[in-house]
Structure 1
């Protein structure tokens, strides 16, 4: 177990400082997923999702497209919100009287990957697995669809999320058209909105399809700029990376180096900092240096 002095980790949050007792790279690998910074883009998307969650069911629900280049944080933002909402619902359900709960769990948000080529049957399979109710492959797409609709109603699902929606663009033109009809019918029959996330090509396709264009509002996520907000983000990361000594990530040289290697994409920044933090521990330096960043 690492030797911890009273001065070690003074720059960290109270919770992060408790991780310093974990030896070796496990200190980073075991805790990295817990790092979450509620930056302005994340708060904007979450506020929109909170409003959608409260919207009553409708025969023509208003959907949401979250789009942007790869690694700007789309999936993480949606995943964090979905996990928090479902966890809150689970805690509330545990406090209920078991005799009044019924036979179905409450699952407000179902989040799945969009299947390649917009395959209808595989979409239903993904949703059913996410809800813990997989069906044999031999079932028809129609049978799977009806089961999905039943489960969404029984589990009191309010939102379905389709991540990596650009996967659907790999199909032929007729396959893409069919998938558009599938998602339109799914949201209409379930009466709940869809939230889809994908790269910028998805938004271009939506603009060409009148029904998708009118049914989906948009939020675009962009790479960060090298400015005060970027340095504020780096300071937030530094308080959450369990290293004994401060790395001064927001100082001009470090901030510029991190911006250059990540191009301002928060996903790339996170990957670089994770690998550099592991190097910092294994070297005994216990702080991230410019050389460690360049070596990633």
Structure 2
């Protein structure tokens, strides 16, 4: 049996048993798509900017589930000199029952003690000599902040601290580029930092719609699925079914296809049908 519908480097996976392939089906996969490629292109161009008075900055916005965190996860594989990127997430930790502090996250990421601050703390108090030295020692040229909109949840004093630190990092002394990812609310955070607003380029991630880009994406997804037969997810009837069930939201699309693929493995058909998509929509974990 030929497996032309599967990427050559994935063909060996088809020899695994059903249970093993279900585990693979439920795992994360990455498909190159135009929106994410735009993000990586901008980041790589910014990585090559020589030091100047203010470093470049990028804001990537999208509603929850549009794939922002997946892009952040892929950055080490797609951005030049990624070892010089400092990546933090401001997403609230439900286990800690409290929101994160930007300053604390920076210091912890670099394994440094976070000094106490007060209302009149200067930039030198916020960005200590130890922090400054380790940033230069590790040749940190970029700061990646996921879920940056959560920085809006803090009080005025902490917002001033966050603003001061970001301005310092973007300034001539450090020249650290900023790559921020968040919901549309992140625009409010950037607007609050009036001096830095003009420095940001913005890329908006949108939901999928019925077009050639979505069909190309579905083709790329199918090439990675551990199914022995072609599902032709890009056919019009399946495209409409997927969009109807997910409203085009990236996370929903991927979860639907994963579940439908598991149904196809369980019943031995080895290809996703409209029936599988309907079952996956009605009962995602019922396979």
3-state SS of 2:14 partner? helix
Greater per-residue helix proportion: 1
Counterpart position of 1:27:
21
| Residue 208 (structure 1) shift | 4.5
- Shift of the 126–33 alpha-carbon distance from structure 1 to 2, 3 Å rule, reads farther
Counterpart position of 1:93:
none
Separation in 1, partners of 2:8, 2:243: 28
3-state SS of 1:274 partner? helix
- Size of the alignment, in residue pairs? 266
- Shift of the 111–12 alpha-carbon distance from structure 1 to 2, 3 Å rule, reads same
| Residue 69 (structure 1) shift | 1.0
Question: Alpha-carbon deviations, 1:254-295, whole Å to 9, x = none?
Answer: 111111222112222112212222222223221122232233
Counterpart position of 2:268:
284
Counterpart position of 2:120:
none
Counterpart position of 1:211:
195
CA contact (8 A) 1:118 1:179 kept: no
- Shift of the 149–285 alpha-carbon distance from structure 1 to 2, 3 Å rule, reads farther
| Residue 217 (structure 1) shift | 1.7
Counterpart position of 1:256:
240
- Out of 159, 164, 186, the position equivalent to 2:147 is 164
Which ranges of structure 2 fall in alignment gaps of 5 or more residues? 93-98, 118-124
Q: TM-score, normalised by structure 2?
A: 0.82
CA contact (8 A) 2:88 2:106 kept: no
- Out of 141, 144, 150, the position equivalent to 2:133 is 150
Q: Does 1:119 align with 2:119?
A: no
Separation in 1, partners of 2:116, 2:192: 30
Separation in 2, partners of 1:209, 1:172: 14
CA contact (8 A) 2:44 2:79 kept: no
| Residue 126 (structure 1) shift | 4.6
Which ranges of structure 1 fall in alignment gaps of 5 or more residues? 1-5, 90-105, 129-133
- Shift of the 17–57 alpha-carbon distance from structure 1 to 2, 3 Å rule, reads same
Q: Does 1:190 align with 2:151?
A: no
CA contact (8 A) 2:89 2:145 kept: yes
3-state SS of 2:198 partner? helix
Counterpart position of 1:73:
67
| Residue 29 (structure 1) shift | 3.4
- Shift of the 121–49 alpha-carbon distance from structure 1 to 2, 3 Å rule, reads closer
Separation in 2, partners of 1:174, 1:276: 49
Separation in 1, partners of 2:260, 2:130: 47
- Shift of the 168–26 alpha-carbon distance from structure 1 to 2, 3 Å rule, reads farther
| Greater displacement, 10-19 / 108-117 | 108-117
Counterpart position of 2:4:
10
CA contact (8 A) 1:25 1:278 kept: no
Counterpart position of 1:109:
85
Question: Alpha-carbon deviations, 1:170-212, whole Å to 9, x = none?
Answer: 2224432332222222332421111010000111332354123
Counterpart position of 1:43:
37
